[in-house]
C-alpha cells in the first residue's frame, strides 16, 4: 500500500509506509553497520540539542497547533479596540500560508478540512482586509456553505461571532455565572471540569451574562446557507436520553436568565471575577495557556477593568509572549509553552545517550528544574486539601496547576544528573514523589491535573462541544508515574502495584495502549511497556509479548512507525497506521528495547530508519502532529519531540537502557526515596 504524504487534501487511506521527503543524511544501505550509524547519529543529535539550550538551563521548542489561535487573537484585538497593522499583517500572512488548495484549514498536518477552523480563519482574513471575492476567500466560503455554514460550527466559534453580532447570543447554550457557587459535592460544579475547561468556563459565565456585541465591521452573509434565516433551530433529542435531558436543562437556564435577580447575578459575576484574579500567574497569564487568558481578559474588561489596570496590562503582555515571529514576517500564536516538559525530556534524552551525569549543561538544567518546583497549593487541593505541594507544571508560570505527568518526568530527569547539591535534589524529589502518590485516583491510576476528575456530566452539556472537558486517568500518565516510582525503589509499594494492575487491565485487545496526551496507540504503548519493565514485569509477560507483536505488526514498510490522528475517531482503520515520523518511531523503539528486543529485525529496521532520515545538522524533520491536547479536537506539533525522542531511543539502543537502569550500586547519582516515600 502506498503512503499518502501530501497534506493538502488529507490522506484517504491509512499509510503503511512513507518515503522520507526531507533531506536525509544517508540511506540504510550506505549507513554502515547499524550500531556505528546509531553512534554517529547520537553524536550529531547530542550536539544539536546541546546547542539549543537557553543560558538559564531550559529548552523550549515551538508548540504548533492550528490557526484558530491566530484568528482568535485578531478577534480579541478587534473586540478590545487594540488592533495594529503590523500584528494583523503578520498574523494574516501565517493564516494564508496554512490554507489548503481546497480553501479549507485543518487542525493538523495532512488532516481533513475543519469547519470551525475554516470559519475563524476566514473571518480573521476579512479583518485583515482580504476581500470575500478573492479566489482563496471564495473557495473557503463555498466550502463553509457546503458543510452547513456557521450554524453547523462549534459553540466556541459562534461565541466569537456573537461578540460582533454575527450570531445571536440567545441561540447559544446558556452558561450562568451562578455556577461558581455550586458546592463541590454537587454535579456540574466547576471542579467537575478539567482544569483547562474550568479556567475557560468561569470567565465565559461573565461573558454569557453580559452578552456584549461590538459593531461588526462587515456582514458575513456569505457564510450562511440561508442568509434570510441564519439561525435555524436545532431539534430536541428525546427527553429520555441524556442529550435530551441536558438540552431541556439549557432551556430552563435560558428561562432563568429572564428572572434572575440582578443583585444575585452581579454578586455571582463578582465572585467569578475574584476567582479569576486569584488565579492570575506572576507573568500575567492564566494557567500558562492562551485560551483562558483570552476569555479572562474579555470577562474582566466587561466588568469595567480598563486596559491600563495592572491585571489587564499584565494579561495582555502575557499574550504577546505566546507569539512566535518567523523569518518570513509571519506571526504564529502558541496555545501554550512547554519549557518544563521539554527540559526534563531533553535531560533524559541526553543522559540516556551517554552524556556524563555531571555535564555542566545537565547540571544547569537540573538547577533550573529545581527552581521550578511548586511549593504552594493550587486548585488540585480542593480534592486533596491535606496533601503538601511539590509538583511541577508544564509551563514557565503555572503555579495553580502543576501536573502529574511533568512531575514524574522531572524526577526521572533529576535522577540522571550528578548534582553538586544532592541533598537539595533529594528533598525536591521526595516532595514530588509524595505529591504524585497523593494524587492517585480511586481506581489506582493517575490523571494529568486532578484526582478522580471523572464526572460523566460535563461532557453532556450542549456548551461542551470543543473537546475533552474532564481529566480522567490515562495510561500514558499512569505509566510515567509507575516508571518514576520504580526508579525511586517503590516498585513493590501497594500504590504502585495498583497502578500496574490498572495498566494491565487497560491493554487493548490488539496489545496496544490508548495514548491520551500523544498520538496515540504508539504513544500509549511506548509509555506503558518501559514502565512495566521498570516495575519488574519480565519481557516474557503475556502483556509485553502482545505489545511487541502489535508493534511488529504495525511497523511501516520503510522501517519506521507512524500513526495518524484519525486513530482517535477510527481506531480500527488507523491504530498504529500513518506516515513514519521520528518521534513515533522512537516511541516504538523505546518499547521494543525495554521488552528485550534489541537484536530483533524490527528494532534494527527502526534504528536504520532514524539514522537514515537524520539531517546533516543532527536534527529530524517532522511536519506531522504527534502531540495531543484533546483527542482529535486539538492536536499539537511539539517541535522538540522530533529531536528528543529519537535521541532517547538511539541512546538506549547503544547503551542498553535508561541511564537510571544502568547505574551501579557503586556509583549512585542520588539515593532513591525508597522507604522514606512509603510513609508519605
User: In Å, how far from its chain's centre is CA 530?
Assistant: 22
**Is 307 domain-assigned?**
yes
Q: The dihedral of CA 221, 223, 225, 231: what is its sign?
A: negative
Residue 33's pLDDT is 84
Residues 344 and 473 in one domain: yes
Where among 312, 333, 354 does a domain terminate? 333
**Residue 111, pLDDT above cutoff 70:** yes
Question: What integer is the mean pLDDT of 179-187?
Answer: 94
Alpha helices in 488-560 (DSSP H): 494-506, 521-534, 542-554
> Are residue 522 and residue 664 in the same domain, yes or no?
yes
| Residue 171: pLDDT over 50 | yes
Residue 2: inside a domain: no
Note the pLDDT of residue 228: 72
Residues 374, 322 share a domain: no
- The residue among 333, 357, 387 that closes a domain is 333
**What mean pLDDT do residues 436-442 have?**
98
Structural domain contains residue 532: yes
User: Could you give the CA distance from residue 256 to residue 267 in angstroms, rounded to a whole number?
Assistant: 16
- Residue 44: per-residue pLDDT: 97
Instruction: Specify if 4 maps to a domain.
Output: no
Task: Give the residue among 210, 156, 205 at the shortest CA–CA distance from 181.
Answer: 205
The mean pLDDT value of the chain amounts to 91
Q: What is the CATH number of the domain that holds 211?
A: 1.50.10.20
Average pLDDT over residues 411-433: 97
pLDDT band of residue 237 (cuts 50, 70, 90) is confident
pLDDT greater than 60 at residue 14: no
Q: Is the pLDDT of residue 595 over 90?
A: yes
State if pTM tops 0.85: yes
Q: Would you state the pLDDT for residue 6?
A: 35
Span 476-485, pLDDT tens digits:
999 999 999 9
* Number of domains the chain is built from: 2
463 in any annotated domain: no
Q: What is the DSSP letter of 340?
A: H
Average pLDDT over residues 618-630: 96
Within a domain: 518: yes
Does 481 map to a domain?
Answer: yes
Bridge partners (DSSP) of residue 518 are 627
Query: Residue 29 has what pLDDT?
Result: 44
Same-domain check for residues 150 and 36: no
| 252 plus 388 within the same structural domain | no
Specify the range with the lowest mean pLDDT, choosing from 81-90, 134-143, 556-565, 652-661.
Answer: 652-661
Same domain, 511 and 481: yes
Say what the pLDDT of residue 242 is. 73
d(CA 347, CA 59): 9
**Nearest one of 70, 106, 3 to 625, comparing CA atoms:** 106
> Is residue 97 within 8 Å of residue 70, measured between CB atoms?
no
Q: Residue 387's pLDDT is what?
A: 97
Q: Are residues 513 and 379 in the same domain?
A: yes
Say what the pLDDT of residue 669 is.
52
Looking at residue 674, what is its pLDDT?
57
Give 242's contacts (C-beta < 8 A, 6+ positions apart): 460
Report yes or no: 657 and 353 within 8 Å, Cβ to Cβ.
no
Tell which of 300, 333, 366 closes a domain.
Answer: 333
Which ranges in 401-491 belong to alpha helices (H)? 404-414, 422-438, 475-487
- Distance CA(652)–CA(606), nearest Å, equals 13
* Domain-embedded: residue 626: yes
- Annotated catalytic residues are 405
Are residues 481 and 499 in contact, defined by beta-carbon separation less than 8 angstroms?
yes
Per-residue confidence (pLDDT) for residue 21, from 0 to 100: 37
Same domain, 41 and 96: no
In the predicted model, is pLDDT for residue 666 greater than 90? no
Lookup: cell for 616: 546533516
What's the CA gap between 166 and 220, in Å, rounded? 7
The position carrying cell 551501579 is 664
- Of the two residues 667 and 282, the one the predictor is more confident about is 282
CA dist 380 → 109, 439, 451 (Å): 34, 8, 7
Write down the pLDDT at residue 238. Answer: 82
| CB distance 417 to 410 below 8 Å | no
Contacts of 617 (CB under 8 A, 6+ apart): 44, 48
Q: How many Cβ atoms are within 10 Å of 131's Cβ, its own excluded? A: 10
- Domain co-membership, 282 together with 352: no
Same domain, 291 and 380: no
Residues 125, 141, single domain; the answer is yes
pLDDT tens digits, one per residue of 23-79: 344 444 444 589 999 999 999 999 999 999 999 999 999 999 999 999 999 999 999
Whether the predicted pLDDT of 17 surpasses 70:
no
80-94 mean pLDDT: 96
- Report the pLDDT averaged over residues 281-307: 94
Do residues 78 and 146 share a domain?
Answer: yes
Is 624's pLDDT higher than 50? yes
d(CA 579, CA 621): 13
At 233, is the pLDDT very low, low, confident or very high (cuts 50, 70, 90)? Answer: low
Give the pLDDT mean for 638-660. 94
Give the residue numbers spanning the domain of 585.
28-61+338-453+468-674
Amino acid at each position: 500500500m502506498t503512503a499518502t504524504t501530501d497534506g493538502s487534501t488529507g490522506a484517504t487511506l491509512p499509510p503503511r509506509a512513507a518515503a522520507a521527503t526531507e533531506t536525509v543524511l544517508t540511506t540504510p544501505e550506505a549507513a554502515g553497520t547499524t550500531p556505528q550509524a546509531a553512534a554517529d547519529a547520537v553524536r550529531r543529535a547530542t550536539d544539536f540539542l546541546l546547542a539549543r539550550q537557553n543560558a538559564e538551563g531550559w529548552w523550549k521548542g515551538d508548540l504548533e497547533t492550528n490557526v484558530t489561535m491566530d484568528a482568535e487573537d485578531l478577534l480579541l484585538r478587534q473586540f478590545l479596540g487594540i488592533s495594529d497593522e503590523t500584528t494583523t499583517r503578520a498574523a494574516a500572512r501565517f493564516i494564508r500560508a496554512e490554507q489548503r488548495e481546497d480553501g479549507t484549514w485543518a487542525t493538523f498536518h495532512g488532516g481533513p478540512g475543519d469547519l470551525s477552523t475554516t470559519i475563524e480563519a476566514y473571518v480573521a482574513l476579512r479583518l485583515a482586509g482580504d476581500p470575500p471575492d478573492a479566489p482563496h476567500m471564495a473557495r473557503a466560503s463555498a466550502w463553509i456553505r457546503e458543510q452547513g455554514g456557521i450554524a453547523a460550527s462549534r459553540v466556541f466559534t459562534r461565541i466569537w461571532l456573537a461578540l460582533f453580532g454575527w450570531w445571536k447570543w440567545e441561540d447559544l447554550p446558556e452558561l450562568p455565572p451562578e455556577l461558581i457557587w455550586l458546592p463541590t459535592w454537587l454535579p456540574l460544579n466547576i471542579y467537575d471540569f478539567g482544569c483547562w475547561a474550568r479556567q475557560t468556563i468561569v470567565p465565559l459565565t461573565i461573558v454569557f451574562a453580559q452578552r456584549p456585541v461590538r459593531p461588526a465591521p462587515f456582514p458575513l452573509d456569505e457564510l450562511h446557507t440561508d442568509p434570510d434565516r441564519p439561525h435555524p433551530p436545532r431539534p430536541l433529542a428525546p427527553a429520555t436520553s441524556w442529550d435530551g435531558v441536558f438540552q431541556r436543562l439549557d432551556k430552563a437556564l435560558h428561562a432563568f436568565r429572564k428572572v434572575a435577580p440582578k443583585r444575585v447575578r452581579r454578586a455571582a459575576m463578582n465572585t467569578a471575577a475574584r476567582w479569576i484574579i486569584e488565579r492570575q500567574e506572576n507573568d500575567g497569564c492564566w494557567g500558562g495557556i492562551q485560551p483562558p487568558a483570552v476569555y479572562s481578559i474579555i470577562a474582566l474588561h466587561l466588568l469595567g477593568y480598563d486596559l491600563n489596570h495592572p491585571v489587564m496590562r499584565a494579561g495582555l503582555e502575557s499574550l504577546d509572549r505566546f507569539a512566535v515571529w518567523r523569518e518570513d514576517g509571519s506571526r504564529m500564536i502558541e496555545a501554550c509553552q512547554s519549557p518544563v516538559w521539554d527540559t526534563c525530556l531533553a535531560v533524559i534524552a541526553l543522559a540516556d545517550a551517554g552524556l556524563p551525569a555531571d555535564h555542566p549543561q545537565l547540571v544547569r538544567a537540573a538547577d533550573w528544574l529545581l527552581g521550578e518546583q511548586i511549593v504552594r497549593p493550587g486548585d488540585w487541593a480542593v480534592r486533596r486539601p491535606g496533601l503538601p505541594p511539590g509538583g511541577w507544571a508544564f509551563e514557565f508560570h503555572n503555579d495553580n496547576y502543576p501536573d502529574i505527568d511533568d512531575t514524574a518526568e522531572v524526577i526521572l530527569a533529576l535522577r540522571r544528573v550528578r548534582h553538586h547539591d544532592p541533598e537539595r535534589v533529594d528533598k525536591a524529589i521526595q516532595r514530588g514523589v509524595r505529591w504524585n502518590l497523593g494524587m492517585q485516583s480511586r481506581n489506582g491510576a493517575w490523571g494529568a491535573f486532578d484526582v478522580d476528575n471523572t464526572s460523566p456530566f460535563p461532557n453532556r452539556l450542549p456548551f461542551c462541544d470543543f473537546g475533552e472537558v474532564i481529566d480522567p486517568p490515562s495510561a500514558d500518565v499512569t505509566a510515567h508515574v509507575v516508571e518514576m516510582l520504580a526508579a525511586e525503589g517503590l516498585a513493590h509499594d501497594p500504590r504502585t502495584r495498583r497502578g500496574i494492575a490498572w495498566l494491565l487491565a487497560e491493554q487493548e485487545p490488539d496489545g496496544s495502549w490508548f495514548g491520551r496526551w500523544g498520538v496515540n496507540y504508539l504513544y500509549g504503548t511506548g509509555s506503558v511497556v518501559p514502565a512495566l519493565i521498570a516495575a519488574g514485569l519480565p519481557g516474557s509477560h503475556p502483556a509485553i509479548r502482545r505489545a511487541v507483536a502489535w508493534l511488529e505488526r504495525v511497523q511501516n514498510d520503510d522501517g519506521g512507525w507512524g500513526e495518524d490522528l484519525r486513530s482517535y475517531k477510527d481506531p480500527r482503520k488507523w491504530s498504529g497506521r500513518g506516515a513514519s515520523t521520528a518521534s513515533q518511531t522512537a516511541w516504538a523503539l523505546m518499547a521494543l528495547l525495554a521488552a528485550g528486543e534489541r537484536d530483533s529485525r524490527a528494532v534494527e529496521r527502526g534504528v536504520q530508519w532514524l539514522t537514515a532520515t537524520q539531517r546533516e545538522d543532527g536534527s529530524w524533520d517532522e511536519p506531522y502532529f504527534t502531540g495531543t491536547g484533546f483527542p482529535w479536537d486539538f492536536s499539537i506539533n511539539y517541535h522538540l519531540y522530533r529531536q528528543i525522542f529519537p535521541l532517547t531511543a538511539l541512546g538506549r539502543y547503544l547503551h542498553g537502557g535508561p541511564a537510571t537502569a544502568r547505574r551501579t550500586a557503586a556509583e549512585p547519582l542520588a539515593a532513591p526515596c525508597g522507604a522514606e516515600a512509603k510513609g508519605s
